Structure 1
Amino acid sequence: MKLVLMGDLHYHDIDATVAGWREARAAFYETLLGRFLELDADFHISLGDLTNYGTTMELQEVYELLRRKERTFIHVLGNHDLYAQTRREVLAITGGQRYHAIDTDKAMLVFLDSAKEMDYEDWGGSIDGEQLQWFEEMVIASGTKPLLVFAHHPVYKTTARSETDKGSIHPSIDMWRILSRKEGKGIYFNGHTHVDSIVKQNNWVFVQLSACLDQHGFRVVDIAEEEVRITAVDVAEAGVLEHAPTLHKHMKHFTHNPNARGTDTDREVVVPLLTAVQPS
């Protein structure tokens, strides 16, 4: 099984009076998403903040680009996706689900909704009791099968910047009480903090993707019997490199992070699934 993941995309509305902005946006996103879609995989996944403010226009336009090639696309909701309108309105436009699971013979995939609705002051994450109960049931049901979790917000004090104010699912929500119930290996993927980071804690590996506007690229996740291999794919086409500075200059609600790219160990990892048998 193969997955392709993107971090925060922040597809955004533009001010048509700013010369060159429309052209720069079109070149950047058409090139970037073209590369995203040409990568063959079972699922193509956005880890949230697919849009910059969640307006109807942003959602419709980015989905138009994503539908240029027939792929199974899954959109995890991020806080920016829910600024302009309600969760129900956004899901009606996208046809997505708030949270759900896909159980396969290779792994169980769980998609969480950690975004607050229309809360411009607090961009931190939250998960309600009903969803937490469902998540715990999925963790238990996964048994020893690899469990891959996809959310926008990191778990507190895991990946880089997850300890900052509003940088994670709220610390008062005891995610570890649920995560610790996992038998075997779990991998938790998230975005939100706009910096690459991979951290191993207990039997979990936390993989954080930076924003596509800062670090142009994706992650490919290959799930085999013996291991899960996560590799980085960089996008260096002119349509992306030449036009990103224009977007950084004019965008609202987004601040460019020139230090988004981590070291190689922050971007790629191999997670072994089989426990070595100790000699007697």
Structure 2
Amino acid sequence: MVTFSIIGDLHYSIGESESEEMMELKNRFFQHFLTEFFSLQSDFHVSIGDLTHHGKREEIQSIYAKINHLSASFQHVLGNHDLYELTKDEIVQLTGQPRYHAYSCSEGRVIRLDSTREKRPDNWSGVIDNEQFYWLKQQIDSHQNEPLIIFSHHPLYNTTTRSSEFNGSIIKEDPIHELLQNHKPGGYFFCGHCHTHSICREDNWCYIQTAAVYDHPVIRTVSIKNRTLKTTLHEIDDIELKNNAKKIHDSLYEKITPFDPYGHFTDRSRKFVLI
């Protein structure tokens, strides 16, 4: 069995002219949320991308200082916001994590993708660069009989909720779609980006999307055993944390979320068995 604890888009931010009150509120929120996240017993703790909001160097350094103090099992999937100001080489140097990576576990081949564009706040859709695509193809060719466990910030086009919207996915022209579709054992595709919980199945692929933390401050827990996936949301029963999440959200976006981040109850907890 392999287990994961996953957080959606965290959007950790450092404002240029924040009040002392807001800075203290943020510090309490992130300390509480991250402590809860890393207290869950899992093989791996994964951020599904947009760990930071502005992609500033100081944001990366600050959030990683908090994370490194709490955990050694953290895996960071790059999100579009994480690359708004830094190059990919710079963020790899800062985090010590490769931008894409693969390893085997008892339940299949785990693949962490980089679906981001570098310094493109004007285009927040996803794309898989040529170097990474051929690496991915080699990974799949070498593990043809194993399920894939894929982590990508962006969903595949027209799978999860909002993934067919403008800039809502890895672009539909990207050859990754056909590459994964042709992998007969199928697998599990974890993503974020669209800020809403969504789970769906298409043939032998299961797509699991997790909402942004400020919209719903929860942690997705996942276990996979014998081609059976079980996932649910770990709720943090703390009124102050939930209120602080809303205050931080409002300070960043200055508007209410214009869609339902919670989804249907089957978008929060589900069981899948691969054929």
Answer whether TM exceeds 0.5 for this pair: yes
How does the TM-score come out when normalised to structure 1?
0.92
Partner of 1:156 in structure 2? Answer: 157
Tell me the distance in 2 between the aligned counterparts of 1:103 and 1:118.
Answer: 32
Contact 1:14-1:21 within 8 A present in 2 as well: no
What is the CA distance between 1:268 and its match in structure 2? 1.8
The answer to whether the 8 A contact 1:43-1:71 is kept is no
Q: Distance in 1 between matches of 2:49 and 2:223?
A: 21
Deviations 1:127-184 (A, max 9, x none): 1122112212222323332211000001111111111111111111133310122122
Letter in 2 for 1:249: D
Q: Which moved more, 1:251-260 or 1:232-241?
A: 251-260
Give the equivalent residue in structure 1 for 2:246.
245
CA contact (8 A) 1:215 1:261 kept: yes
Aligned length: 274
List gaps (5 residues or longer) in structure 2.
none
Distance 2:251 2:142 in 1: 47
Q: Which amino acid aligns with 1:178?
A: L
Q: CA contact under 8 A between 1:3 and 1:44: conserved in structure 2?
A: yes
Q: Which amino acid aligns with 1:259?
A: D
**5+ long unaligned stretches in structure 1:** 276-280
Cα pair distance change 1:255/1:89, threshold 3 Å? farther
Counterpart in the other structure of 2:12: 11
Aligned equivalents of 1:199 and 1:262: distance in 2? Answer: 12
CA–CA separation in structure 2 for the residues paired with 1:258 and 1:173: 27
Tell whether 2:200 aligns with 1:224: no
How far off its partner does 1:70 sit? 3.0
Stretch of structure 1 that moved more, 35-44 or 257-266: 257-266
Deviation at 1:272, TM superposition (A): 1.3
Shift of 1:254: 9.0
1:90 matched to which residue of 2?
91
Q: Is the partner of 2:69 in helix, strand or coil?
A: coil
1:182 equivalent in structure 2: 183
Q: Flag the 1:12–1:141 CA change in 2: closer, same or farther, 3 A.
A: same
Q: 1:135 to 1:40 in 2, by over 3 A?
A: same
Which whole-Å CA distance do the structure 2 matches of 1:222 and 1:240 have between them? 26
Provide the rounded CA distance (Å) in 2 between the counterparts of 1:27 and 1:110. 33
Higher mean alpha-carbon deviation, 158-167 vs 18-27, is at 18-27
Partners of 2:189 and 2:261 in 1: how far apart? 19
SS at match of 1:177: helix
Which stretch shifts more, 12-21 or 93-102? 12-21
Write the mapping of 1:31-50 to structure 2, written as runs, cut at 5 A.
31-50=32-51
Distance 1:254 1:93 in 2: 32
3-state SS, counterpart of residue 150 of structure 2: strand
Specify the SS of the correspondent of 1:243. helix
Structure 1 SS opposite 2:234:
strand
Q: Distance in 2 between matches of 1:257 and 1:46?
A: 24
Question: Percentage identity across aligned positions?
Answer: 32
CA separation in 1, counterparts of 2:128 and 2:9?
A: 19
**Distance in 1 between residues matched to 2:184 and 2:52, nearest whole Å:** 35
CA distance in 2, matches of 1:103, 1:164: 33
Q: 1:254 & 1:129 partners in 2: Cα distance?
A: 38
1:237 and 1:16 mapped to 2: Cα distance?
Answer: 28
Check the 8 A contact 2:195/2:261 in 1, yes or no: yes
Measured in 1, the distance between the counterparts of 2:18 and 2:135 equals: 48
From the superposition, tell whether residues 99 and 60 of structure 1 become closer, same or farther in structure 2 (CA, over 3 Å).
Answer: same
Report the alpha carbon displacement of residue 71 of structure 1 after superposing the two structures with TM. 2.9
Report the alpha carbon displacement of residue 245 of structure 1 after superposing the two structures with TM: 2.6
| Change in CA separation of 1:80 and 1:113 when aligned onto 2, cut-off 3 Å | same
Instruction: Work out whether residues 193 and 210 of structure 1, in 8 Å CA contact, stay in contact via their aligned partners in 2.
Output: yes
**More moved, 155-164 vs 98-107:** 98-107
- Letter of the 2:228 partner, please give it: E
